[in-house]
């Protein structure tokens, strides 16, 4: 069985979309794969409650309990490696990972970003796209590299920016698109394994 570990920091909406797709498409039969665990760096993340209710094993690893980023990432790697995952999926995991962590999961570490990369890496993507006068934005699924948000692109989808959009309304529509594209990109990766 191919294991997937999902990392979250918040509500877990992308995680939930992935789990729902995995259940609908019956990934266990089609890809010999399953969502083995959801791990959060925030002990009170609502996504942990959601994952548990969906029957997924959960773990909490509070990053504030570690003196350094490297110490946290080393412990996180140990927790992830218990499951020997074929993929580690970042689904709203709001931590910049150390080079050692990224190297450990090279080719298996996947992220979704709320813009059409390479445009608007980092934070505040929606407001930056509006301020730049863009007509389109979207979501990008990419492999994670040491450089923030510039790894190889696996999939993208476009979302129109409306004249009435605020960062909040745009974020809502982009997130709906993320919930579609992210499970599809993961399924494509699993199909290629």
Domain hosting residue 15, numbered range: 2-191
Residue 27: pLDDT over 90: no
104 is catalytic: no
93-140, pLDDT tens digit by residue?
A: 999 999 999 999 999 999 999 999 999 999 999 999 999 999 999 999
Active-site pick, 113, 126, 142, 179:
113
Mean per-residue pLDDT, 36-59: 96
Tokens of 90: 């970042």
Residue 25: pLDDT over 80: no
> In this structure, which long-range contacts are made by residues 66-72, counting pairs with CB atoms below 8 Å and at least 24 apart in sequence?
69/95, 69/96, 69/98, 70/98, 70/100, 72/41
Give the 3-state secondary structure of residue 178. helix
Sign, Cα dihedral of 119, 113, 111, 33: negative
Burial 6-36 (b: 16+ CB within 10 A, else e): bbbbbbbbbbbbbbebbeeeebeeebebbbb
Mean per-residue pLDDT, 27-39: 92
Number of domains in the chain: 1
60-101, pLDDT tens digit by residue?
A: 999 999 999 999 999 999 999 999 999 999 999 999 999 999
Residue 40: pLDDT over 80: yes
What is the chain's Cα-based Rg?
Answer: 16
pLDDT at residue number 54: 94
Mean per-residue pLDDT, 38-57: 96
144-160, pLDDT tens digit by residue?
A: 999 999 999 999 999 99
pLDDT at residue number 26: 76
- Say which CATH number the domain at 79 has: 3.40.50.170
């Amino acid at each position: 069985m191919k294991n997937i570990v999902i990392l979250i920091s918040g509500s877990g909406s992308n995680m939930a979309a992935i789990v729902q797709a995995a259940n609908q498409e019956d990934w266990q039969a089609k890809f010999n794969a399953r969502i083995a665990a959801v791990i959060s760096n925030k002990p009170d993340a609502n996504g942990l409650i959601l994952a548990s209710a969906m029957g997924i094993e959960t773990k909490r690893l509070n990053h504030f309990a570690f003196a350094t980023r490297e110490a946290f990432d080393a412990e996180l790697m140990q927790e992830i490696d218990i499951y020997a995952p074929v993929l580690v999926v970042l689904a709203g995991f709001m931590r910049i990972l150390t080079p050692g962590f990224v190297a450990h999961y090279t080719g298996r570490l996947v992220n979704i970003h709320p813009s059409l990369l390479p445009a608007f890496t980092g934070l505040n993507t929606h407001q930056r796209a509006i301020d730049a006068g863009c007509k389109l934005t979207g979501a990008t699924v990419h492999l994670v590299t040491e450089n923030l948000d510039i790894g190889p692109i696996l999939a993208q989808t476009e979302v129109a920016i409306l004249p009435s959009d605020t960062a909040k309304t745009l974020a809502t529509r982009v997130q709906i698109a993320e919930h579609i594209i992210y499970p599809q990109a993961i399924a494509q990766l699993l199909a290629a394994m």
